Amino acid sequence: LENKPMKTRKQGPELTVSALGLGCMGMSEFYGGRDEAEAIATLHRALDLGITFLDTADMYGPHTNEQLLGNALKGRRDQAVIATKFGLVRSAGGGFVGVNGRPDYVHQSCDASLQRLGIDTIDLYYLHRVDPTVPIEETVGAMAELVHQGKVRYLGLSEAAPDTIRRAHGVHPITALQTEYSLWSRDPEDKILPAVRELGIGFVPYSPLGRGFLSGKIKRLEDLAADDYRRHSPRFQGENFAKNLAVVEQVNLIAQEKGVTGSQLAIAWLLAKGDDIVPIPGTKRRQYLEENAAAIDIQLTPSELERIETVAPQDIAAGDRYPDMSSVNR
């Protein structure tokens, strides 16, 4: 892995990032268990491998994941492209308070993130979820002020609809859209990907391994830690679990034939969907980071891609992506 220069990709016309990013959320929360020393070692290993596109958010932890990233990057800030997010509000105790896209909150959030990260400028600043009570033009207008102040370099949106993306892009160029996309969640192919491509916006798939399911390492719900939030995810329940496992087994068969892991095949498939796509698989262990990094060099032939898409067609996953968060998320 070491000796090759890392491949890069563009997000929007100007931002160059490693072809694969690293999602840092699980280092602090949601996926059970924390090991700060291993998390920091994983971040350092990522930089050594040239995986420099690091993804966090103010709500992860809550409010501790940015600090972890800031600590790990001391003395190496210039090697990283740091992406963070704001807009999903949580209490100090971790409860979800709601979505906030108000201009004053934009400024407040950015200052707090800069402080926790211990940096002067955020490379890519995302609105984590669109606030239905605030026109997107107002939120992005305030985000654009951050760019003019030098606090942020580029702007992003997460889980936004095509019309919202267009309106936002009209106020200030949007560099990247981050949305769930994997063999398990192919919905962006219909309207989202065509919209961002038309506007020249990059695309960052989160949960590219279907929250770890596509790795084939989760065979039963009992394999998950007691405090792992996936235990409550509709796709991990009962009949859904069994149906989804059957798809994963098919994907893993193709991977075995190719001599790669299920995770590697899932990442290689996403990378093959376009040069504007930069997946950010999350991991908190060096072992999985290295496995994911090796996927960058896997070439899939058109017939292999077709086979993969036949066993994992759109809408194959049983169950919603999230528990119903309509009160929080809309």
Active-site residue numbers? 60
Determine how β-strand 8-11 pairs with β-strand 15-18: antiparallel
- Asked if residues 157 and 187 have their Cβ atoms less than 8 Å apart, the reply is no
CA distance readout (Å), 91 to 32, 110, 179, 188, 253: 20, 17, 24, 31, 44
3-state secondary structure at position 126: strand
Q: Which residues of 9-24 are buried (b: 16+ CB within 10 A; e: fewer)?
A: bebbeebebbbbbbbb
Residue 268: what residue type? A
3-state secondary structure at position 299: coil
Structure tokens belonging to residue 114: 């800069």
The span from the CA of 157 to the CA of 164, in Å, is: 9
DSSP of 50-105: T--EEE--TTTTTTTHHHHHHHHTTTTGGG-EEEEEE-EEE-TTS-EEEE---HHH
